[in-house]
Structure 1
Amino acid sequence: MECLRYQCLVWSVFLFLWVAGKAQQTLSNSTYILHQILLKNYNADIRPCLDCKTPLFVGIKFHLTALNKIDEIEGELSTVGYLKVVWSDERLTWDPTSNGVGNVMMPSTKIWTPIVLLGNPSKEIIHLNQDDAIARVLYNGTVIWHPGDVFRSRCEYDVHSYPFDKQSCSIVFTPWSYLASEITFLAASDHADTAFYQENGEWKLGLTSSSTYTKKQSSFVRFHFNFIRRSEFFVVNIIVPISFLSFLNCLAFAIPIQSGERVSYTITVLLSFAVFMTLVSDNIPKTSAPMSLLCYYLTSLFSGSVLIMTCVTINMSTFYTDPSIDVPPRYVRLHKMVTRGKRRKKLDERKRHVNCVSNDTRQSVQNSNEADGTTQNVTVTWHEVAAALDKIGLIVSLTYFSCITIGMILYTTRSKL
């Protein structure tokens, strides 16, 4: 009994596989016959139209899969993606109930397909890699086609806020050689599809949009993309080192003049600024409309470094002036202004000391203090003048670089918002 059941099960499996194979063979035969019928007397050079007085509407949807590169220097946007192109061909219709086939795949070289051209190429005019894409034809004549390629489109960049900039670029498609009265492109969606998009390490993808327009009797569909630069790399590797370098430049006034290392120190810092300016200039467009704010920032720091080197050289000349030459009164007043706090502190210490002595002694000390502060001539040497100039240079340079850096930070923060 069990053996009989086993034999029945085996024969049932064989019968099912035989029926499935026959059905598959019948379906394959039906698809082959359908291909022969549809392509018989079919002319792929003529656009599908029963009433050619009306335009053929072609739906376009762009699928962005990757961002290769945004080249600000060349003004080029390189992306990878594919299009979903949909139109209706009345010559490719059939009754699915007669053969059980609802759709067939056909090579794009055997049926009519629109020649989709990149409307804003960066270097050369090319059409999509459409010969390798296979089209799906539905029983009602709807043709769905997915050509893909690497798109190198033209884009105008605004690098004023570099490296905290946002860029807006577009990819435009148009039917080659056809007028808008013959073929009209329609955006199948109000935005580009990014379901398969892979994030870029340098740029973050923002909002996308799509639109259609007609220009000079030609139909165009535009896909607009917003990209936001990821500025962390530039902040860590350019802006932060430059900021630290600018404050190190101020320490030139703290180096003793007798060491003889001041000039070499300032020249080293100056050359470092020049290197950073070269690095930045190699990564931004050579344009003046507008120029990057970072270029102005580097130029300001470079100018401050040149000014510090000049002041250091002049101050060294002051330090080594012949002691036999009298110090001009303006330098004496400058020295008094800088050292006023020290002299006032010295007078306060003398007054506290007066409280510990007798009245007669106190009166004599006060008279001496008054003489020191008002009537006695103060002798100022060239070394003291140089020290006062160093103090002024340190304060002014720190204030200068701090104001420029804080202003840069506030401006870029406001632009990002």
Structure 2
Amino acid sequence: MDYKIVWTTLYIKTLLASYTCLAISGGHEIWKHLFLNNSFNNEVRPVKLWRTPTLVNVSMAVIAVIDFDEVKQTIVLTSKLTLHWKDEYLMWDPQNFENITHIHVSQSKVWKPYIFLENSVAKHYDMGSPSVQVIINSDGTVEWYPVEVFKYTCTADVRKFPFDTQKCSMIFETPGYSNELQIRSVDDHIDFHGKGVFSGWSVVGTEMVTNMEEGEVHIICTLTLRRNPTYFILNVFLPIVILSLMNNCVFILPVQSGEKASFVITVFLSLAVFLTIVSSKLPENSDKISILNVYVFLCTLLSVIIAILTIIQIRIYHRDTERSISPFLVKLVAMCTSTQNSSGDKQETPINWHVENEFNAELMQINNAKIPENSNPINTTNNANVSWPDVVRAFDNIFLVMFSMINLIVTVTVLKMTLSSEDLVEQDGSHESHGSHASH
């Protein structure tokens, strides 16, 4: 009985050891079959008939968007590419190798397609790293999953800033190949593994197409980004609107307070500071200017006009009281200023004015014979109650209404243009040409 137990135990251990050895040797045998027994060369495109093109299927997944700089017009993101192609020299029958259907090898051991990011702004280098492995299937299909950080150009259209939407496209190509190597996108979209929100932007759409143009094949991967405008509304847009409204309040401030000029200059300087802030957030592009930038400039221009008018009003206010006032200004004062006091009753005419008026009438009768018939005597009755401060108050009322309407119209127009869902003009020609020739 003891001998039977010993022999049984040895037999089981032998079987287990043999099974382990077979499993290990199966992978080694495939390695020897592919890379040692065959005359495999990873520098040459793996086809037995050279005229046969190598088809590379490409798909993409974005792991994270690191940064989008609309001033420098660049975007940085981390993505994982998935590339599949067939290697006619890396094939085996699984039944001859313990039914092993795939193995993992270093990417440096196999031939890989040369794919280049056309609009990259970083120094070009080969995708992947020595630690990245490829999967070789028994039917010759090779799967490669390089993870890369791409930094590429993205032309920003900031006309609707801060309510803008940007489209950033990566353009992949295979330089140096004609019809020998063909790349195509497997999916019509990009998988996004993140939350889709980063640094004030949200990813609202993705697209992936294959573009064939003039014998060249490109894969265009597009991310659609939408800006989160809350920060700019609270810190830029609303302060500018409030300052433009405050600018009109200079016409409410009386000249005798002595603060009229300093008030309007202070508001002007504040708007100039905001104009600098908005300009620093936008790219230096003369073709596509931000509507908000134009709005701040218009507000600043209106502030300059208001400052000039305010200085002129102060000069008019201090004119000599003996200087005559034209009948037009007298009528303007009568139309644009109130002749009532705070209680609502009409102001009483001073007794001295009646005495003076009667005295003037007597003088006119005495000297009536000396005045020529075709002469135009001065209408002293109309000018009796009108002074230069009254003229300034009339202009204050006129300018207050006029500039308030202008500010309201400009602000509503800007909001309507920026919030409009329609594009102001068509996108740039490069994107249109890619989209018009795109095919899956």
TM normalised by structure 2 equals 0.79
Q: Distance in 1 between matches of 2:158 and 2:289?
A: 7
Deviation at 1:56, TM superposition (A): 0.5
- Point out where structure 2 has 5 or more consecutive residues left out of the alignment: 1-7, 349-378, 424-440
Deviation for aligned residue 1:316: 0.9
Partner residue in 2 for 1:412: 418
- Tell me by how many angstroms 1:400 deviates: 1.5
Partner of 1:55: 53
Tell which deviates more after alignment, 227-236 or 107-116: 227-236
Kept in 2: contact 1:65–1:80 (CA 8 A): yes
Give the letter for the 1:28 counterpart. Answer: I
Aligned-pair distance for 1:240?
Answer: 0.7
Letter in 1 for 2:398: I
Select between 230-239 and 387-396 the one with higher mean Cα deviation. Answer: 387-396
Q: What residue is the counterpart of 1:281 in the other structure?
A: 279
Q: Could you tell me how far 1:325 is from its partner in structure 2? A: 2.0
Residues 192/90 of structure 1: CA separation in 2 closer, same or farther (3 Å cut): same
2:63 is aligned to 65
Distance 1:403 1:237 in 2: 22
> Match for 2:79: what amino acid?
G
Distance 1:23 1:252 in 2: 95
The change in CA–CA distance for 1:163 and 1:90 in structure 2 (over 3 A counts) is same
Moved more, 321-330 or 240-249: 321-330
Contact 1:164–1:416 (CA<8 Å) still a contact in 2? no
Contact 1:262 1:312 in 2 (8 A): yes
Match of 1:248 among 240, 246, 249: 246
Matches within 5 A, 1:92-111: 92-98=90-96, 99-111=98-110
| Aligned residue number for residue 355 of structure 1 | none
Aligned to 2:141: 142
Residue matched to 1:379: 385
CA offsets per residue over residues 214-242 of structure 1, 9 Å max, x none? 34543321112222221111111110110
1:13-412 to 2 correspondences below 5 Å = 23-24=19-20, 26-40=22-36, 41-98=39-96, 99-122=98-121, 124-179=123-178, 181-196=179-194, 198-339=196-337, 342=340, 376-377=381-382, 378-412=384-418
Q: Distance in 1 between matches of 2:303 and 2:202?
A: 36
Q: Note the aligned Cα RMSD (angstroms).
A: 2.9
CA contact (8 A) 1:68 1:80 kept: yes
Aligned counterparts of 2:410 and 2:175: Cα–Cα separation in 1 = 53
- For 2:328 and 2:125, the matched residues in 1 are separated by 75
Hey, what's the Cα distance between the residues in 1 that align with 2:33 and 2:120?
40
- AA at the equivalent of 1:31: G
Matches of 1:411 and 1:281, distance apart in 2 = 19
Q: 2 CA distance for matches of 1:230 and 1:416?
A: 18
Contact kept, 8 Å, 1:115 with 1:175, in 2: the verdict is yes
The answer (yes or no) to whether the contact 2:67–2:199 under 8 Å persists in 1 is: no
Counterpart of 1:391, as a letter, is: N
1:177-223 deviations in Å (ceiling 9; x for gaps): 222x1110011111111244642232221222222233454332111
Question: Is the 1:64–1:192 Cα contact (8 Å) retained in structure 2?
Answer: yes
Partner deviation per Cα, 1:43-78 (whole Å, 9 max, x = no partner): 110111122212100000011112222222222222
Residues 117/19 of structure 1: CA separation in 2 closer, same or farther (3 Å cut): farther
Kept in 2: contact 1:66–1:199 (CA 8 A): no
2 CA distance for matches of 1:198 and 1:25? 49
> Between Structure 1 and Structure 2, how many residues are aligned?
381
- 2:372 aligns with none
| Residues in 2 aligned to 1:18 and 1:273: alpha-carbon distance in whole angstroms | 89
Q: Which moved more, 1:299-308 or 1:208-217?
A: 208-217
Greater mean deviation of Cα atoms: 114-123 or 229-238 = 114-123
